[in-house]
Amino acid sequence: MAESIRVLIPEKDVAARIEEMGRQISEDYEGKQVHLICVLKGGVFFMCELAKKINVPVSLDFMSVSSYGDGTASNGVVRIVKDLDESLEGKDVLVVEDIIDSGRTLSYLLEILEKRKPKSMRLCTLLDKPDRRVRDVKVDYVGFEIPDEFVVGYGLDYAQKYRNLPYIGIVDGIE
């Protein structure tokens, strides 16, 4: 059976929630500059939209940390694929993720980043899947809490497909 996608969170709801999150982050960082760290590849769609909704000065950097292959579940092996270009020392850092699932990747990433001496560090995710959590991570900004379903769209993929969907969808028909 070929996979199919059904809408979980419509495009208008995603856009409205990102706008709300941008307002909250702007309030929380008032009078400061926030350094956004995008966790690639999936986080780039979310971070770009979020950055446009933040009203304080923003700087950007990108990191790729992986614990997935082409499958639908974390394999537990975490590796840095691309490291940051800039130092974090003394910066107010906001790590931006597309989804937090098991927490393995983020737990590892936050440990590494904390050693780089940021002034502060918070975590922001578009989607949170707490039922799958095996490592505890404190999430400061959550777009949507979702059920334990395999989702795509808005940067999230299945074997590099469906990232460009403007909504969050559930993939049916995969093994």
- Residue 50 half-sphere exposure toward CB, CA atoms < 13 A: 30
3 state SS of 166:
coil
Nearest CA to 95 out of 135, 53, 140 is that of 140
101 given a catalytic annotation? yes
Which residues have CB under 8 Å from 111's CB, separation 6+?
none
Mode of pairing for the β-strands spanning 34-40 and 92-100: parallel
Structure tokens at 155: 């940067």
Burial class (CB in 10 A: 0-12, 13-18, 19+), 137: buried
- Catalytic residue, chosen from 101, 128, 136, 140, is 101
Q: What positions carry a catalytic annotation?
A: 101
